[in-house]
Structure 1
Amino acid sequence: MADVVAVRLRMRLITGEAQGRSLDVECRYEAGDPFAVRLDFGADEGAVWVLARDLLAAGLREPVGDGDVRIEPSRTGEHVYIALGGETGIALLNAPVRPLTRFLRATGRAVPVGTESDRIDWDRWLDALLSA
């Protein structure tokens, strides 16, 4: 069982121009933070977004999200749109569904869905919260 699952995906940043812009994004999952998936846009973009694993999985099937993160499958089902909102605006990404599905399956092998809370050291988490 892997404690880290990582894959690099080519996503398209939709810019309003005909071509948009390609981005290499690392999708990363760590068993020690079992509810989260990280989208690392690398040093050039200087951003890492943390999404709920279940939100990303649900967004492959239907429109989901509220606030800063929204995910919606394309009409063809081959891509998914991921909207990330921040202080300077919204980044709209187009990502391929098949590699995202394989990535999410691998995260499920690392930490099966429904067993995430078994991986959290709740005493340490509570100590950290109370000492903050």
Structure 2
Amino acid sequence: MSTVIEQPVEARLVAAAPRMQNIPATLSYDRQDPFAVRMTFPAPATLEGVEVCWTFARDLLSAGLRDAEGHGDVRVRPYGYGRTVLEFHAPEGTAVVHVHTEEILGFLRATSELVPVGTECRQLDLDHELAELMRDAC
């Protein structure tokens, strides 16, 4: 069984222009980092011309489908017309994208099949992680 889930999604970049631009993005989840999800934008879709990946809590993505959530770099909230808004805040500026809520729900269902919500701690090898921390401290 695969330990990684990747799902392409169509994001609509919210900008000052009258028409929102569609950009490809990928949601991913790795069993080895069970609390996190990643949203990656390919180089052609970014201002810098390099791939950009945002990592944030799976719980934040899930909770943001119902109510506005997040106070830091990533914020998620429901939006009408079956969409969810994700805001990515960086020193260089803020990117706001709309994603079809059904795409996010499908992704979250797949992550829950791989690692059920509430069982994330069982995926962690804390002894190994502690040994790595101690090795780096020497």
State the TM-score, normalizing by the size of structure 1.
0.93
SS in 1 for 2:70: strand
2:93 to 84, 89, 92: 89
Determine the C-alpha separation between the residues in 2 that align with 1:74 and 1:129.
42
CA RMSD of aligned residues (A): 1.3
The CA deviation string for residues 16-71 of structure 1, in whole angstroms up to 9 with x for no partner, is: 11112211101111111111111011232320000100100000111000111111
Q: Which has the higher contact order (CA 8 A, sep 6+)?
A: 1
Does residue 50 of structure 1 match 2:55?
yes
Determine the C-alpha separation between the residues in 1 that align with 2:70 and 2:95.
15
**Structure possessing the higher radius of gyration over alpha carbons:** 2
Does residue 65 of structure 1 match 2:70?
yes
Q: 2:15 aligns to what?
A: 15
Counterpart of 1:22 in structure 2: which amino acid?
N
State the TM-score, normalizing by the size of structure 2.
0.89
Does residue 115 of structure 1 match 2:119?
yes
Determine the C-alpha separation between the residues in 1 that align with 2:129 and 2:26.
27
Aligned residues, how many?
131
Q: 2:31 aligns to what?
A: 31
Counterpart of 2:65 in structure 1: which amino acid?
L
The CA deviation string for residues 59-116 of structure 1, in whole angstroms up to 9 with x for no partner, is: 011100011111110134x001111001101100111100110110000000000000
Unaligned runs of 5+ in 1: none
Q: 2:129 aligns to what?
A: 125
Report the Cα offset of residue 6 of structure 1.
1.0
Q: Which runs of 4+ in 1 moved over 6 A?
A: none
Report the Cα offset of residue 121 of structure 1.
0.7
Report percent identity of matched pairs: 36
